[in-house]
Amino acid sequence: MARVGENGVNNAIDTRTKEQKAIDEWLPITSNRNAKWWYSTMHNVTAMVGAGVLSLPYAMSQMGWGAGVTAMLLSWIITFYTIWQMVEMHEMIPGKRFDRYHELGQCAFGEKLGLWIVVPQQMIVEVSTCIIYMVTGGKSLQKFQEIILPNMKPLKLTYFIAFFSVIEFGLSLLPNFNSLSSVSFVAAVLSIAYSFIAWAASIKEHAIGTQVVSYGPRSTKSSDNVFMFLSALGNVAFSYAGHNVVLEIQATIPSTPENPSKKAMWKGVLIAYIIVAICYLPVAFVGYWVFGNGVDDNILLTLHRPVWLIAAANIFVVFHVIGSYQVYAMPVFDMFETFAVRSMKFKPSFLLRFVVRMAFVAFTLFVAITIPFFGGLMGFFGGFALAPTSYYLPCIIWLILKKPKRFGLSWTINWVCIIVGVLLTLLSPIGGMWSIIKSVKTYKFYQ
């Protein structure tokens, strides 16, 4: 029987040098491979059920019932299929683990081209997601303050985002994914809780029946409705961003030839995706049904009763995005720290980790307080970067590495996913950029 080393690598086929082993044991993705299958559930729920779910009723209002329901269900099915592909490809070559998304890309496209195809997109996804979570945390804190202290003089959103960042500065010093397990557990539980509150409180509002609901076009201008539709597609795409961290999460699970990591990982991912459906679909459909075109780009900003429950939901969001930020930031830390120690030949140290991570959190803070446009940011980045990495890049890699029979079932399914994903990439950023430009016209910076 093959023996597994302390770092989760099969010792019989481990060809790493002593220096490479030392670096792997320091880097955040590969330093600890003792995760259980439920860790992947927690990390994946934390990664996916986040800011995106709160925008889904608004996205529905921009698309309407027919297109909205179709987009929601089709996105769930496609991304469920592509995340399965990624889990399967993690150890498709015996003795080799693709611990990072770009490593899988390098296997498919070549050492240099693989980096250029995957790394820019993955970086855009993870950095933009962290920025959006900064905005989400700040806005939810602001809403909480408005609810519990209605007579207090309103504070600038900038202050709330800055306060949120203080927590992220501290948590960013946690060394690796497994050290985030407690944070992810709390975040995952609270994400389910506020998703339930979002649709349950919406039904409560409907029972009161104090408002007229409209499901027609949001604007009298056809061009505006087209741009909003495209932005909504990006919002839906943003909701399925977990692919950008799935290989990095799987890298933390031990593996042997008899018990490969994909078994535990797939169990965790399957449960996570069921939870995603339970959270996403009721929030999207019930929220739109109750409020129609009157829903905000964050449904919790639309809800007002019961006061204590809405206040609790906003705090739940804050604690959840605290964890989500770290899940998406960890692969970024890994990329920069890998570059620093392997290419720049810096010595692995706490000082290096401190400088890299503080600089990253400071950068996301600056961008968040400069352009805090929740809906527009999701629409733009959802199509521009998340659609490729979640909808069709796994399919392209699958076709290259697995080589399914031409015009067979697998070949056809992958090409359908690729076509849908490419259209999403080309169209939705247009709507997201339109939304951002429209918001900038009336926004006072740093207010």
| 87: confidence class by pLDDT, cuts 50, 70, 90 | very high
Residue with token string 């592509």: 82
- Residue 2 has a pLDDT of 40
How far from 438 is each of 181, 221, 237, 441, CA to CA, in Å?
A: 40, 14, 21, 6
Taking each helix axis as running N to C, give the angle between helix 393-402 and helix 101-109, from 0 to 180 degrees, rounded to the nearest 10: 50
Domains and CATH numbers, the chain: 35-442 (1.20.1740.10)
- Residue 78 has a pLDDT of 93
Return the structure tokens found at 357.
Answer: 């991570």
- pTM attached to this predicted model: 0.84
At residue 397, φ and ψ (nearest 5 deg) are: -65, -40
**Are the C-beta atoms of residues 197 and 140 closer than 8 Å to each other?**
no
Residue 31 has pLDDT above 70, yes or no: yes
| 171: confidence class by pLDDT, cuts 50, 70, 90 | very high
- Taking only the tens place, the pLDDT of each residue in 125-138 is 888 889 888 988 99
- Residue 255 has a pLDDT of 83
Residue 308: other Cβ atoms inside 10 A: 10
Written as one letter, the residue type at 247 is: L
- Residue 4 has a pLDDT of 42
Residues 6+ apart with CB under 8 A from 55: 235, 238, 239, 297, 298, 299, 374, 375, 378
- Residue 1 has a pLDDT of 35
- Taking only the tens place, the pLDDT of each residue in 225-243 is 788 888 788 778 777 777 8
| 208: confidence class by pLDDT, cuts 50, 70, 90 | low
Residue 298 has pLDDT above 90, yes or no: no
Q: In whole angstroms, what is the distance from residue 30 CA to residue 25 CA?
A: 6
Residue 9 has pLDDT above 70, yes or no: no
Q: In whole angstroms, what is the distance from residue 39 CA to residue 253 CA?
A: 9
Give the mean model confidence (pLDDT) for residues 387-395: 88
Residue with token string 């039904």: 203
| 439: confidence class by pLDDT, cuts 50, 70, 90 | low
- Taking only the tens place, the pLDDT of each residue in 266-288 is 999 999 999 999 989 999 999 89
Q: In whole angstroms, what is the distance from residue 242 CA to residue 327 CA?
A: 10
Taking each helix axis as running N to C, give the angle between helix 261-291 and helix 65-89, from 0 to 180 degrees, rounded to the nearest 10: 170
Sign of CA dihedral 313, 319, 322, 326: negative
Residues 121/123/126/132 CA torsion (nearest 10 deg): -90
Range from 199-203, 330-334, 442-446 carrying the lowest mean pLDDT: 442-446
**Are the C-beta atoms of residues 376 and 436 closer than 8 Å to each other?**
yes
Residue 378 has pLDDT above 90, yes or no: no
Residues 208/212/215/218 CA torsion (nearest 10 deg): -130
